[in-house]
Amino acid sequence: MATALGVKPEGKGISETAGGTVEVAFGRVNSVAAGGVEAKNIVVSINEFLDIGLLGQGFFGSYDVTIRENVIEFSPR
């Protein structure tokens, strides 16, 4: 996904994943939007082991997230 979006590596770091600790590259995107919520100038990990992007603390960090049967709600903290 990083290649498709043109994300360039800016450095490396350690990421804790469900599969253990891995070294990943980090890059930056101008914005990410989902469910009416947008984050700008966000640091993202470039993980060669994932085919899709995952939203994490960099996106959800300032929101409370409620997951219901058919809807996910975002509430600013």
Straight-line distance from the first to the last Cα atom of the chain, in angstroms, rounded to the nearest whole number: 30
Beta bridge partners of residue 40, listed in sequence order: 31
Query: pTM for the whole thing?
Result: 0.71
For residue 1, give the nearest of 44, 38, 36 by alpha carbon: 44
Phi and psi dihedrals of 66, rounded to 5? Answer: -115, 125
Chain segment 25-46, per-residue pLDDT in tens: 999 999 998 878 888 999 998 8
The rounded distance, in Å, linking the Cα atoms of 49 and 47 is 5
Q: Lowest mean pLDDT of 26-30, 48-52, 64-68, 72-76, name the range.
A: 48-52
For residue 20, give the nearest of 42, 49, 46 by alpha carbon: 49
